[in-house]
Amino acid sequence: MQGLSIRGFNTGYPKRQVIENLNVPLLPRGKITVLLGPNGCGKSTLLRSLAGLNRAKGELWLNGEELMAQPFARRADKVVYLPQSLPAGVHLHVLESIIVAQRASGGRSTATSENEVMSLLEQLGIAHLALSYLDQLSGGQKQLVGLAQSLIRRPELLLLDEPLSALDLNYQFHVMDLVRRETQKRNIVTVVVVHDINIALRHGEHVLMLQNGELIADGQPEEVITPESLARVYGVKGRIERCSQGTPQVLIDGLVAEPEPVL
């Protein structure tokens, strides 16, 4: 089966289980899956565990191969995880850092590969930063470099944890559009954590919604993001309406009333 299947997946921390018995039939290749849910529901923990960075039990099947039984190095050849922020204090040029990431996936530093890196930087709108040092960049610029480092490794499973959090509106749209194009062109499984539900409606093609480590809904964006799920998961009264161009968007009218305390 082509894509990612999650079966009986359990993960968390030594003193706290976060995800318990998670089952997702299929995250499709060539499409962006958006992972939604309130703060603390387990989104980042799930991404780290899919990448093999947190201890977990269960089964992960990626394009017919079981990942959990594979050594970490082999798994890392197929799975790339981009955290919310890059490590601090790395004193490398942007160009060098991406070539290092390319070598980590078996690529060689050649004129052809450097041209590929520069082409990717141009697509991200940061070619002018190629000779800038990582530790001198803004948070948003570092996120864009991190995305370039991730894409240059040509993963089969790309995990992006809030890649838009430090970006302005222009770059948010630009990055999601690029990630969707690259996901389709490379036919990979891409999972992106975002907080803006309207980004999920506009750019997502598949959505998982979590609450307290439990899968609440799984499917196409407009099937998952409904007034009922918004009330249950986020505690808000919301509507989904289409703008003048036909794009669905969420409008929030208020909070779901808390029940009166029993005296």
pLDDT digits (tens, 9 = 90+) for 174-214: 999 999 999 999 999 999 999 999 999 999 999 999 999 99
Establish if 16 belongs to a structural domain: yes
Six-digit token string for 154: 């040509």
User: What percent of the chain stands above pLDDT 90?
Assistant: 84
pTM: 0.93
Establish if 236 belongs to a structural domain: no
Tell me the backbone φ, ψ of residue 122, rounded to 5 degrees: -65, -40
Establish if 101 belongs to a structural domain: yes
H-helix or E-strand spanning residue 94:
helix 94-104
* E strand map for the chain: 4-13, 16-27, 31-36, 56-62, 65-66, 79-82, 157-161, 189-193, 206-211, 214-219, 236-242, 248-255
CB atoms within 10 A of CB 154: 17
Establish if 244 belongs to a structural domain: no
Q: Which of residues 116 and 190 earns the better pLDDT score?
A: 190
Residue 112's pLDDT band (cuts 50, 70, 90): low
For range 126-132, the mean pLDDT: 96
Establish if 205 belongs to a structural domain: yes
Establish if 263 belongs to a structural domain: no
Q: Is residue 87 pLDDT above 90, yes or no?
A: no
Q: Is residue 10 pLDDT above 70, yes or no?
A: yes
Establish if 139 belongs to a structural domain: yes
Query: 163: domain range?
Result: 4-219
CATH number at residue 13: 3.40.50.300
Q: Which of 184, 123, 185, 190 is nearest to 155 (CA)?
A: 190
What is the tally of structural domains in the chain?
A: 1
Tell me the backbone φ, ψ of residue 34, rounded to 5 degrees: -100, 130
Decide if 90 contacts 82 (C-beta within 8 A): no
Establish if 76 belongs to a structural domain: yes
Q: Is residue 261 pLDDT above 80, yes or no?
A: no
What average pLDDT does the structure give for the chain? 92
**How would you class 152 by CB atoms within 10 Å of its CB: exposed for 0-12, middle for 13-18, buried for 19 or more?**
buried
